Amino acid sequence: MFNRLAFQHSQFVQDLVMSLQALAQTLENQGYSSSCYTCGGERNSASFMVSLAEGHLIRFLVSDYGITWTEMRDDRELMKLEGSEAISQLHELASLVKFKVSPADCELLRSR
């Protein structure tokens, strides 16, 4: 049973890394400054970053050891989430792509 769970977790991480790479490219195409770096060809970890506005940065880290979402504004940490909460925030970010919200509109939405 544990070997099966380890394999499933590894597959989940690899799928998440591929999704982050696609999200970074799509956000970049929509005018956001974003990147996704992986270590090695196995896709077992990634560092995803996107700048939503001047001084407003999102960092999402994924590896076999865990998943972390960190939101910063003006170099100050606003929020740090882990696990399923971090993935929920990533889903919200992906909604920007789905609804094609521009970087300028994103700041307007956040100030409401």
pLDDT digits (tens, 9 = 90+) for 49-64: 999 888 999 999 998 8
Between 88 and 110, name the one with better pLDDT: 88
Q: Is the pLDDT of residue 112 over 50?
A: no
Containing structural domain, residue 107: 2-111
The model's confidence at residue 42, banded by pLDDT at 50, 70 and 90, is confident
What pLDDT is recorded for position 102? 65
Query: In 24-89, which ranges are E strands?
Result: 33-38, 45-53, 56-63, 66-73, 76-82
Average confidence (pLDDT) over 26-37: 92
pLDDT band at 12 (very low <50, low <70, confident <90, very high): very high
Structural domains of the chain, count:
1
In the prediction, which pLDDT does 109 show?
Answer: 43
**Tokens 């972390």 -> residue:** 68
Count the Cβ atoms, other than its own, within 10 Å of residue 52: 22
Distance of CA 3 to the CA centre of its chain: 28
Mean pLDDT score of the chain, rounded to an integer?
87
